[in-house]
Amino acid sequence: MSSERPERLELDGAGLKIAVACSRFNHEVTGRLAAAAQATLRRQGVDEDKILLVECPGAFELPLVAARLARTGEFDAIIALGAVIRGETDHYELVAKAAAEGIARVALDTGVPVIFGVLAASTKEQAEARAGGVLGNRGEDAALAAIEMARLVAELARRAR
């Protein structure tokens, strides 16, 4: 667990339904993000059968997958996981920007929390450090953020009634 934000261990996932959208590009990294996200959801009380894992080719495709999942109306939150690693070209920048902007847009357009769990790193080593290495696992952070946002959005909707 990284120390970038305070831990919310009391977060209760019971009764929530959460989708994990995970891109396969750099799968050695994204597989670890997805495993940690799913394990954290279960640890926080989300039922195994209320967790849906969906894979897609790369981080660029995550916004569309998240949008489709959000529009089913079935999920309390969606976790988008990917790893964008700088290569020799500007492709990295384009993919990272499209993923970040697209994921933010899906959340705002649908009202369903979509958690940004896409690592952007200069090297594979940097990405690995954040996928179960010395800097924690962003998949775990993303799962906690998903539960927190699912609860918060539900509470805000109740208050608005």
Instruction: Give the per-residue contact string, 27-56, with ligand INI (x = CB under 6 A; - = no).
Output: ------------------------------
60 counts as binding ligand INI under rule CB under 6 A: yes
**Close Cβ partners of 59 (under 8 Å, ≥ 6 residues apart):** 23, 25, 82, 83, 84, 95, 96, 98, 99, 118
91 catalytically annotated: yes
The single residue among 18, 20, 22, 26 that binds ligand INI, judged by CB under 6 A, is: 26
Can you give the C-alpha Rg of the chain in angstroms?
15
The single residue among 45, 52, 53, 58 that binds ligand INI, judged by CB under 6 A, is: 58
Strands 18-23 and 51-56 come out as: parallel
Q: How far apart are alpha carbons 37 and 52 in whole angstroms?
A: 11
102 counts as binding ligand INI under rule CB under 6 A: no
Query: Nearest distance from residue 27's CB to ligand INI, in Å?
Result: 9
The single residue among 92, 105, 126, 135 that binds ligand INI, judged by CB under 6 A, is: 92
77 counts as binding ligand INI under rule CB under 6 A: no
**Close Cβ partners of 20 (under 8 Å, ≥ 6 residues apart):** 34, 37, 38, 41, 51, 52, 53, 54, 78, 79, 81
**Close Cβ partners of 148 (under 8 Å, ≥ 6 residues apart):** 8, 11
135 counts as binding ligand INI under rule CB under 6 A: no
63 counts as binding ligand INI under rule CB under 6 A: no
Active-site hit among 5, 8, 71, 91? 91
Q: Which residues bind ligand INI (CB under 6 A)?
A: 23, 25-26, 57-61, 82-85, 87, 91-92, 95
User: What positions carry a catalytic annotation?
Assistant: 91
